[in-house]
Structure 1
Amino acid sequence: MLRTVITGVTGRMGGTLLRLARATSGFSVVGATVRPGSPSVGQDAAVAARQGEPMGLVVVDELDRALEADAQVVIDFTGAEASVHHARLCAMRGVPMVIGSTGFTSQAREVVAACARSIPVVLAPNTSVGVNVVIQVASELARVLGEGFDVEVLEAHHRMKKDAPSGTALRLAEVLASALGRTKEDFVLAREGAVGARTQKEIGVQALRGGDVVGEHTVYFFGEGERVELTHRATSRDQFAKGALRAAGWVVAQRPGLYDMADVLGFKRT
């Protein structure tokens, strides 16, 4: 049984992770956290996450306390700032991590990378297996289609999402740029006014927000007389949790280092 700690257990993803981890063979949830000052502190984790009968696990407001239960892995979807703090604690304790938070600054990512010199960390903007297959396929399509196609990324999420574009959209843009020999300098995150004709090298990344959209990402390859579209639509958060649990089972057997879902799924690096 993999002794697992789930941070932010009362959040959308935290609650989903708790439910699926309890139902998945090979996992034992031994720790659950919430932010300091939360009214859920001291409650039973299942009750706090609105999952029915108590499970006998008390919610705490500090990851350090949750790690005292001989934790073997931490799954964290709390948010970039909290995830950095948690990464530091895990590095000090020698506990591997899976981080699904988004919105990291370059400095915050560097902190996580430094922590990964002590522990194995999977840092993934999207832990869905399906969307990571789409990312892999998008890279291959870009290579095959080449310079004759204009590339754009469009993403849509619920109204409560705080960062834009999504981490997944930016990851798509990164792999497309790599496949086409371009850089982040070619990303265009907004268009307004007399911007002029589209350049050949730019990669547009646009964001939509509204309603309860879990997550949609489409890559467009616009050619002369034809268009290729590659789309992933998430209709529930379960697939993110399933992918995170898969990553948790994988990361505990790895050496210290910074990994992503491509590593978890065994995709070849190009």
Structure 2
Amino acid sequence: MSEQVRVAIFGAAGRMGTQLLNEAPGFAGAAISAALVAPTSPLLGTPLGPDALTATCDLDTLSAADVVIDFSTPAACATLATECARRGLALVSGTTGLDSAQLRTLDAAAETIPLLHAANFSVGVNLLEHLLELAARGFGADADIEIFEAHHRRKVDAPSGTALLLGRAAARGRDWQLEDVATWARQGQVGPRPDDEIGFQVLRGADIVGEHTAYLCAAGERLELTHRATDRAIFARGALRAALWLASRPAGRYHMRDLLFGPH
């Protein structure tokens, strides 16, 4: 591998793809080798980012990369994972909203390539995930857990992938499965809150980059763990950091906590 890690951006015309192209020139150790967009993108064939890379949909351009960063759609992400596995390329993906079959496709790809899929690449959010698991375990059954998230009005999935990441962390702290205890909305005569529940609330509005708060409500006290993103660049920098770290790893499924704290 060359001194610089060659990074292909998949979904380069999107909000995060654009941010990655803008951040990469100042990120030591990373060199963007390709900017891939959808075949139907109006930006196909135009120069993108400070380095004026030509937007392409040709997957053969991946051959010039060491690792691919993906911020696309669930279907495109699953297809890309299979393609990366065929080509032996490491894959970092921040695409959210994948269904169970698409997640299994990522698992299958990780049998032959290093793959890191994360709902959020902010260092602060991933520290919050760790702290929330500890807090949920520490409080035990004495605290009710609720998770609130807010994003811009154009976000299409709810709750956010990050809210689900936090929900799973809280569930691990209680030795629960999130799917067994999650309450996604409340309306009407819902009755008293059960003990084994993690509630979610969602706000969508204007240009909110991302806000997440986990509430642990015990009798006589309440712990609130909050992360607020004010600059989308934090996600791009986190993804680039992950790409540089992942490029030299053996095949397997990785998480941001592996990067921050070492393998568990």
TM over 0.5, yes or no? yes
Task: Return structure 1 stretches of 4+ with deviation > 6 angstroms.
Answer: none
**Alignment correspondent of 2:255:** 260
The answer to whether the aligner puts 1:235 opposite 2:238 as a matched pair is: no
Distance 2:216 2:207 in 1: 27
Distance 2:150 2:48 in 1: 31
Distance 1:209 1:132 in 2: 22
Q: In the alignment, which of 199, 202, 211 is matched to residue 216 of structure 1?
A: 211
TM-score, with structure 2 as normaliser: 0.95
Distance 1:231 1:151 in 2: 13
Change (3 A) 1:267 1:193: farther
Distance 1:110 1:120 in 2: 15
**Alignment correspondent of 2:123:** 129
CA displacement 1:198-257 (0-9 Å, x = unmatched) = 000101012111111111100001111111100000011111011101100111111111
Mapping for residues 158-177 of structure 1, pairs under 5 Å: 158-177=152-171
Distance 2:262 2:134 in 1: 12
Shift of 1:141: 0.8
Which has a greater percent of strand? 2
Distance 1:100 1:37 in 2: 21
- Structure 1 unmatched ranges of 5 or more: none
Q: Cα RMSD (Å) of the superposition?
A: 1.2
Change (3 A) 1:56 1:227: closer
Change (3 A) 1:227 1:56: closer
**Alignment correspondent of 1:59:** 55
Distance 1:82 1:264 in 2: 25
Q: In the alignment, which of 111, 117, 135 is matched to residue 117 of structure 1?
A: 111
TM-score, with structure 1 as normaliser: 0.93
**Alignment correspondent of 1:249:** 244
CA displacement 1:45-91 (0-9 Å, x = unmatched) = 22xxxx5xxx35221013x12213x2101001112111111111111
- Structure 2 unmatched ranges of 5 or more: none
**Alignment correspondent of 1:36:** 39
**Alignment correspondent of 1:22:** 25
Shift of 1:4: 0.7
What SS does the aligned partner of 1:111 have?
helix
Distance 1:76 1:60 in 2: 14
Distance 2:73 2:260 in 1: 24
Shift of 1:268: 6.2
Aligned residues: 260
What SS does the aligned partner of 1:175 have?
helix
What SS does the aligned partner of 2:53 have?
coil
The answer to whether the aligner puts 1:143 opposite 2:137 as a matched pair is: yes
Change (3 A) 1:267 1:172: farther
Change (3 A) 1:118 1:61: same
Distance 2:61 2:21 in 1: 14
Change (3 A) 1:154 1:267: farther
Identity of aligned residues (%): 43
